[in-house]
Amino acid sequence: MSAPVPAPWIARQRDALLAQRGHAWLLQGPSGLGQYALALELARAWLCDQPTEQGACGQCGSCHAIEVHAHADLCVLMPETVMIALGWPLDEKAQADIDDKKRKASKEIRVEAMRDAVEFSQRTSARGRGKAVLVYPAERMNNVTANALLKTLEEPPGDVKFVLASEAAHHLLPTIRSRCLGHTMSWPDFAQSLDWLQNEMERSHEGEGGAKKAARPVQPSDLHALLVAAGGRPSDALTWAQSSPAAEAAQHWQALPKAMARGDVSALADWAPAQAVDALQKLCHDVLATRLGAQPRFFSAKDLPAPASGKPGSPASAGSGLYALAAWSKELATTARTVEHPYNPGLMLESLVSRARLALNAK
């Protein structure tokens, strides 16, 4: 089994980082830019039996072990929910507790896992190529967990390297940030992202068999719509396109603004509250932009609901409902901070849609 080929912009950043020296990197930037992919590329290159200037060879035993998530010299620190989603095995006790319904999978990086990682960093390398610790998303460390890492991060024992990948680096302790070499993720070109997205979808469908590929054709226009909806972030667009048929996802997104203006709760029925809030923030942004005469970023202007006083962008609509939209934007920002709390999802979505309908139809 050979390692997957990284996206071109990930490969460029990997090559640049491998040419530099350092034992701890902090990869930072908005979600969907490939922090996890780049972190794994670095770990793969550090541990590879036959590394090159372009990273790992992709063929050796070390590369294979990472690909099947079973490398003795790689410690992966993630929230249990993320590990399950990405296919990384949990330790036996954690898996048993979750299977026996003693507790739910953690959404934070647990301090017990961090202490195990510190102990791992002090052991001798199993394959003789050093060790690597990958932390993602690093902002999911609470203060206790982060403090457990500080000493080891500052003075790593032996040949161990760290890579922390974050989608909200400002949430990390300053002491964590100061002990790492920082790298801000590059934002890929839209056309290049679209080509990569098309290739990834075609490759995934080829792996599913000809019948499924014929039943679910992927149109460039649908992928274009999803990439726009994701704000030009290719990893987010790919996850979205692979989680449901791209055509259905694109049509659903394009119909969302007017569905919210009608108060149609069913348009968000299949979405988790965090996804719904994110979509409504994008909708609020674009409606505000168009009513101030700017271009939308996440939706097509023709898909946005017309203001009560006229067409979007017309002189009559300038200022239409701006106070209500601004207030709605602030409410959504507040909601986003607590959206993962154990609220009743159904009631929360009804409240979100009701508030959206009022703001979108305000005069």
Q: Which CATH number covers residue 111?
A: 3.40.50.300
Q: Are residues 176 and 56 in the same domain?
A: yes
The verdict on residue 313 lying in a domain is yes
Report d(CA 34, CA 240) in Å as an integer: 14
Percentage with pLDDT > 90 across the chain: 73
pLDDT score for 211 = 45
pLDDT score for 207 = 60
The residue among 118, 206, 204 whose CA lies nearest residue 162 is 118
Q: Are residues 75 and 156 in the same domain?
A: yes
Report d(CA 299, CA 258) in Å as an integer: 11
Q: Are residues 270 and 170 in the same domain?
A: no
The verdict on residue 196 lying in a domain is no
pLDDT score for 213 = 44
The verdict on residue 237 lying in a domain is no
Q: Are residues 314 and 166 in the same domain?
A: no
What band does 69 get if pLDDT is binned at 50, 70 and 90?
Answer: very high
pTM: 0.86
pLDDT in tens, 283-321: 999 999 999 999 999 999 999 998 866 555 454 444 558
Using DSSP, state whether 6 is helix, strand or coil.
coil
The residue among 272, 291, 284, 192 whose CA lies nearest residue 237 is 192
The verdict on residue 23 lying in a domain is yes
Has residue 60 got a pLDDT over 70?
A: yes
CB-based contact 148:111 (threshold 8 Å): yes
Expressed as residue numbers, the domain containing 129 is 8-184
Boundary of a domain, candidates 184, 210, 230:
184
Boundary of a domain, candidates 184, 200, 218:
184
Q: Are residues 174 and 287 in the same domain?
A: no
The verdict on residue 276 lying in a domain is yes
Q: Are residues 305 and 164 in the same domain?
A: no
The verdict on residue 222 lying in a domain is no
Report d(CA 48, CA 56) in Å as an integer: 5
Report d(CA 363, CA 360) in Å as an integer: 9
Q: Are residues 173 and 66 in the same domain?
A: yes
Q: Are residues 252 and 137 in the same domain?
A: no
Q: Where do the DSSP E strands lie in the chain?
A: 24-28, 74-77, 131-135, 160-166, 181-184
Q: Are residues 180 and 275 in the same domain?
A: no
Q: What is the mean pLDDT of the chain?
A: 90
pLDDT score for 316 = 45
The residue among 7, 69, 82, 44 whose CA lies nearest residue 163 is 44
Boundary of a domain, candidates 141, 160, 184:
184
Q: Are residues 172 and 262 in the same domain?
A: no
Q: Are residues 168 and 249 in the same domain?
A: no
- Cα 356 to Cα 30, 192, 265, 277, 279: the distances in Å are 25, 34, 10, 10, 11
pLDDT in tens, 164-181: 999 999 999 999 999 999
The verdict on residue 3 lying in a domain is no
Q: Are residues 123 and 251 in the same domain?
A: no
The verdict on residue 204 lying in a domain is no
Percentage with pLDDT > 70 across the chain: 92
What's the structural domain count of the chain? 2
